[in-house]
Amino acid sequence: MWKSVRKEDERPATPTPAAPSVAASPPAVPVKEVKPLMEPPKIDSYRADVAHIGKSVLVKGELSGSEDLYLDGEVEGSIDLRGHSLTIGPNGRVRANVNALDVVVHGKVEGNLRAADRVELKKSAILVGDIFTQRIVIEDGAFFKGGIDIQKADAKPEQKAAAAVAAPVVSHTPPQQPATTAVSVAPHPSLLEPKKF
Amino acid sequence: MSSLLRFFRGQPPSDPLAPVDPKQERIPRRSSGLGEFTRALAGQEALRILDLGPTSAANITHFTGLGHKYHNEDVLVSAMDPTLVTGTGMNDAVGFDVDRFMRENLNHEAGIFDAVLLWDMADYLPEPLVKPVVARLHKTMKPGGALLGFFHTKDAGPNAPYFRYHIDAASKTKDGLLLQPVWKPGDNKQKTPMFRLQRVFANRHVENLFRDFASIKFFLARDNVREVLVIR
């Protein structure tokens, strides 16, 4: 019924009605070219801009990268995404110290979170560890066991020195390696360091 | 820590870590004890506060907004780990692995906390843990530190709600609380409190419990709760 000879009509620019009855009545105004409906970002489109670790993936070792990461699997070791965001999905299980720009937690984390900007615990989050950040958002329902140290931006230089002494983040990414998200670069022999306040 | 790792492996039906319905009502309540506690901390910065109640975003925001370092440890949840119960009853006496619990919880350096929010946790803890937990708090608090505790003066029955205490930041008198009842997840028609009151302390029992502390001050509230401010 909607056969068209012209090739332009095959382009997905104009949405096709789902059923003929929908388009039975003639439009009140001249039909204009309609841009594709902008759907809210889903995981698939989010994945295009963000590295993604699926829920069946287990990583043991040091995880580092220079892009945002959505982690829905299991990680043991350490995670270093300085300057980038880490989102731990609802299936995510992390036993690692984390260093990133922002950290959003939907799943379970055992380890210290160090975020230069913000940490957000969603209502399904379970975090056992300390938080070092400028801002923190905790949804009602989140479980948290540990300490929170709010560090203002102007205290960063002092706190970097203190952080280096208190809880050094191990990152062995060699400078000659390309800036990509590396997985299992090196096995991490020890578990998390004990909490210290 | 390992008890919480067991929680990571799966959530039992009545899981204290299950998300709390944010739509549950919050009951405002004035607290003379909280007012005194707040005054004890006034004018000081970068204090270390230990909150032993359930995670409360309001409390975290309140204390971190004042520039303090905030620690949260819901000891009651950890105490409900069924693997801490030893023995099977009958000829095998039922006990509690206090040593393991104390190894895995409240593991802080000595003399580190300036203030502790005990809330009413002592009323709900298993009996073998009450004195060891208070002794550990004594060890981890700085001399002169303040501890705020609530103790029920009577048992209101098995359906008496267990509350999560939120500091009311909007309270102009700095003594406002918002009480949020916490029910066991599952059947919403029959509201069962998440935890059951284990005991009712008399005044002398509370004094005895904190005998190693420097001073204790009582505040009696109208809702059958005795508030105490204890100085380390």
CATH of the domain at B204: 3.40.50
* B70 vs A contacts (CB less than 8 Å): 147-148
Residue A147 to residue B71, Cβ atoms within 8 A? yes
B125: Cβ contacts below 8 Å, ≥ 6 apart? B75, B76, B79, B133, B198
Which amino acid is located at B11 in the chain?
Q
User: Looking at the predicted structure, is the pLDDT value of residue A159 above 60?
Assistant: no
CA pair distance B118, B31, nearest whole angstrom = 14
The whole-number pLDDT of residue B87 equals 73
| Domain region containing B92 | 2-8+29-231
CA pair distance B185, A196, nearest whole angstrom = 34
Q: Provide the pLDDT confidence category of residue A166 given band limits of 50, 70 and 90.
A: very low
Number of residue pairs across A and B with CB atoms under 8 Å? 71
B28: Cβ contacts below 8 Å, ≥ 6 apart? B168, B176, B177, B178, B179
Residue A197 to residue B1, Cβ atoms within 8 A? no
Number of domains in chain B: 1
The whole-number pLDDT of residue B170 equals 87
Winning range, highest mean pLDDT, from A188-192, B88-92, B202-206? B202-206
Quick one: average pLDDT of A4-16? 49
B92: in domain = yes
User: Looking at the predicted structure, is the pLDDT value of residue A179 above 90?
Assistant: no
Quick one: average pLDDT of B56-71? 92
Quick one: average pLDDT of B202-225? 92
B19: in domain = no
Residue B55 to residue A138, Cβ atoms within 8 A? yes
Quick one: average pLDDT of A143-159? 75
* A147 vs B contacts (CB less than 8 Å): 69-72
Quick one: average pLDDT of B95-108? 91
User: Looking at the predicted structure, is the pLDDT value of residue A16 above 60?
Assistant: no
pLDDT > 70: percent of chain A:
53
Q: Distance from A106 to chain B by nearest Cα, in Å?
A: 11
The whole-number pLDDT of residue A48 equals 60
* B55 vs A contacts (CB less than 8 Å): 138, 142-144
The ipTM, to two decimals, is 0.83
The whole-number pLDDT of residue B11 equals 41
B49: Cβ contacts below 8 Å, ≥ 6 apart? B41, B63, B68, B69, B70, B71, B113, B114, B115, B116, B117
Give the mutation candidate from A119, A132, A151, A197 for the B interface (greatest B CB count, under 10 A). Answer: A197
Q: Distance from A113 to chain B by nearest Cα, in Å?
A: 14
The whole-number pLDDT of residue A60 equals 97
Q: Distance from A130 to chain B by nearest Cα, in Å?
A: 9
Q: Which residue has the higher pLDDT, A5 or B185?
A: B185
* B25 vs A contacts (CB less than 8 Å): none
The whole-number pLDDT of residue A185 equals 37
B15: in domain = no
